[in-house]
């Protein structure tokens, strides 16, 4: 997801650069014992110029290097819906156990790999045998993944 830098971001940058300029001016005052207007007045342009250059370069680089556009994959969404419905029907997990499955990176990676098997078929790297050995027997992830494998096989037969 690409973050958009709004006016608030540039206002904060401007405020911090003004604070930095104030600290530098204070340093010069304590170092020299006085403030020389010929040095201080040109420094007042620094926060405006810094913020302006930052804004310009941000816009320029956004045009040159656009972020990834997330494409909706209807086949993947249908797969996730079918698999999650099968898990809900066949596994009687509590809400907390579903949350644990959702936050489990290994399980989520396995769902992606199972989709690749469904979409591209089995190969030497990813096949049903590999997917079945992914989790410890008896764990919630194992039980849910057995349902996922069964559902993927059923979906492959129907396509």
Task: Show pLDDT as tens, one digit a residue, over the chain (159 residues).
Answer: 455 788 899 999 999 999 999 999 899 889 888 888 888 888 889 999 999 999 999 999 888 887 765 555 788 888 888 888 888 888 888 889 888 888 989 888 988 888 888 888 887 777 778 888 888 888 888 888 888 889 888 888 887
Using alpha carbons, select from 158, 128, 124 the residue that is nearest to residue 145. 128
pLDDT of residue 129: 80
Domain that holds residue 24: 7-64
Total Cβ atoms within 10 A of residue 5 = 13
Give the chain's domain count.
2
- On whether both 89 and 154 belong to a single domain, the answer is yes
Contacts by 111-120 with C-beta closer than 8 Å and gap 24+?
111/80, 111/83, 111/148, 114/83, 114/145, 114/148, 114/149, 114/152, 115/76, 115/79, 115/152, 117/152, 118/79, 118/152, 118/155, 118/156, 119/75
- On whether both 60 and 92 belong to a single domain, the answer is no
Per this entry, what is the length of the chain? 159
- On whether both 81 and 57 belong to a single domain, the answer is no
Instruction: Answer yes or no: is 2 within a domain.
Output: no
- On whether both 83 and 122 belong to a single domain, the answer is yes
- pTM (2 decimals)? 0.53
């Amino acid at each position: 997801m690409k973050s958009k830098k709004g006016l608030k971001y540039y206002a904060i940058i401007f405020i911090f650069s003004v604070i930095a300029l104030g600290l530098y001016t204070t340093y010069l005052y304590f170092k020299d014992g006085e403030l020389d207007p010929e040095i201080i007045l040109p420094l007042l342009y620094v926060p405006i110029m810094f913020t302006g250059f930052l804004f310009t370069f941000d816009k320029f680089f956004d045009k040159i290097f656009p972020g990834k556009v997330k494409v909706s994959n209807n086949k993947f969404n249908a797969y996730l819906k079918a698999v999650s419905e099968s898990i809900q029907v066949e596994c009687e997990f509590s809400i907390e156990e579903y949350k644990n499955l959702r936050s489990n990176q290994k399980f989520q990676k396995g769902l992606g790999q199972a989709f690749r098997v469904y979409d591209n078929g089995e190969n030497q790297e990813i096949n049903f045998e590999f997917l079945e050995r992914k989790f410890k027997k008896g764990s919630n992830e194992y039980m849910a993944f057995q349902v996922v494998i069964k559902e993927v096989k059923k979906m492959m037969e129907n396509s």
